[in-house]
Amino acid sequence: MDQQSVPQTTINRLPIYLRCLIRAQSMRMPVINSVGIAEMAGTNAPQVRKDLSYLGELGTRGIGYDVDALIAHISRLLGLTRDRRAAIVGFGRLGSALLGYPGFGEHGCAVVAIFDSDPAKIGTLPLGIEIRDVADLESVLRELLVDIAILTTPVEVAQTMAERVAAAGVTAILNFAPVRLEIPPEVAVRQVDLSTELQILSFHLAERRRVE
């Protein structure tokens, strides 16, 4: 099956399936069926089978999916077999919290560079990683072969920083600043937006109230 044709919605669910499969693996389950994955992942069995069918014929009829083989296959498709190198741009509270997040190391993603503009921070070594002057952004990103930029800057400078990391050849950005980045389409952007999420939750609270 053509890998290009895997729908984005399926891609978005693969990390969730992967997490479930790793849990199954840790429970010593050699095989799991679509119902089992669906229950763990909070979806339904046909959805799981359809999603996995885009990756190829990975299951065995009458049996289910081999847990180890499926983990290997999804990991490869998601590019998790190759170690990813991330940079944190903007080392305030949030950047600092993310650096300490164990999720990076667990998923083959290493923070290899940190940037800030505050002279008091530049040169310090949180968790052994030197904080660099954001003035040197482009050269350091290229030198350290960074593939993912994590933007935790103030909103005012996020667009500029996005343009600069993109110009330095970084093609994946995780943006925590509440602004929609305008950058070339070959750069993948994932937006994490706290106030948007809170507002969506607020809508649900308001709706509950309206129904009652």
Partner DNA sequence: TTTTGTGAAAGTTTTCACAGCG
Partner DNA sequence: CGCTGTGAAAACTTTCACAAAA
Q: Contacting its own copies (CB under 8 A), which of 29, 118, 169, 180? A: 180
Q: Contacting its own copies (CB under 8 A), which of 106, 127, 128, 185? A: 106
Decide which of its own copies, DNA, none touches 28; Cβ closer than 5 to 8 Å per partner kind: none
Binding mask 132-171 for its own copies (x = CB under 8 A): ---------------xx----------------------x
CB burial string 16-42: b at 16+ within 10 A, e below: ebbebbeebeeeeeebbbbebbbebbe
Please state the closest distance from residue 17 (CB atom) to DNA, in A: 12
Binding mask 54-83 for its own copies (x = CB under 8 A): -----------------------xxxx-x-
Residues in contact with its own copies by the rule CB under 8 A: 3-4, 11-12, 14-16, 18-19, 40-42, 77-80, 82, 84, 86, 93-94, 96-98, 100-101, 103-104, 106-107, 109, 147-148, 171-174, 178, 180, 182, 186, 188, 190, 192-211
